[in-house]
Structure 1
């Protein structure tokens, strides 16, 4: 009975019977700092190697229909230029809704002085949204609910971002999708709407000595008058082991870890513990990622700090 009530509750939360139905905004990541191109296209010009990134996030395990997100991204500098190129594919699955996003980023870096650089980027998005109303658990079978499933609703979008950085610090501002997108049924009685989201992020690396580095960082997410704040503290030991913690305001605590297997491969894991009332109905959120770096023009003084963000 409890599992069935939870399923109904989540279904109503995500697809409730309202005149306006809000689709999930951009997916949430705990370890966003290892592939920021998903939210800021300008980051693509800050990488000095070809980087391939894969992530899988299973949110609120134990709740039927809870979000599951997969991301695959590639960033690369373009030879003999200050340009960087990024490509990301994201699949976001929530209950009866399945959304695929394909994004291409192009960014350019300007050397402000010997220390600081500024990257500017643009993003082109294509969203394909599918919704199967038939998969919902309808609490009141006698109620007026007669909507047709739809598949791969197409919506293009554009985004932009700026990324100010050095070997020890960064500050980024971006809007990955600038335009509000509405999805209507045939008679326009129900709407799924995705609003633009503005991201502000930053971080700084402190050398603690004895082979330890500390990077405090933050990510602020603003959409339609609502703000979500995430603060993180990561420690890097001997350029190999990463441990840290994260707090998402009024939402969750997280434990983070990572390991540099060799000069190319890096793997990481995060566990989120929900601090809202949903923690009574789920066993946490698991997030696993892997990154492969190849080539590049790093030197011994910047390699470890650049990999830290």
Structure 2
């Protein structure tokens, strides 16, 4: 009985620590939400500060969408992030397939070079990439935001490791059924790597959705601005109205939270488990 009681106490303490840690992590987000819901008459810099608004109002959100092109910013970010995710999943999986399954001279060197590019900061290649986009006539286009994110070294490495975990017998069975190499990639490896594909898609979406530096460099047309640039415009257009900035920040956070909540259950199964189920 004592062992059982100690176990229950340990679990209770663990749960309490996790709840405390979650509360600490959520406090800035709750403060941001509270600021966005406070009315104009309420002082957001009162002392002592109040977490809950005394008179909750959606006025900041109404002003945000009526006096700024927030809808256009959302659409631009959604297009850039969506196409970047699709391109990443396609090109990274195609590049990972031969590195994981095909035997050819220089495969190890090719993999080493791909992984080595992870160590190169984006700031190092930003100027050559900008010159290339200008020469291609892609400056001030959404395509210029998508192409640099169309494939990543991390994505190639992640999917290669995922493909290596798939039993070879599954591919041999597909080959006996008449599958071509492309058929093996599509019918065997892609379903087996579902969890890693979703993980990669989420990481690419979050990265492109919150990217500020590259859109700032390559875009001049306000109609093509993404959400980070749009929020930066709010700080100057409305003379640092913190309610509007908080509302804009909440609007930019909600899609990421929704995607994580909807897709988190697909991340947990292992690649081999998915392969057997498929």
Q: TM-score, normalised by structure 1?
A: 0.22
Q: Relative to total residues, which structure has the larger helix share, 1 or 2?
A: 2
Q: Relative to total residues, which structure has the larger strand share, 1 or 2?
A: 1
Larger radius of gyration, structure 1 or 2? 2
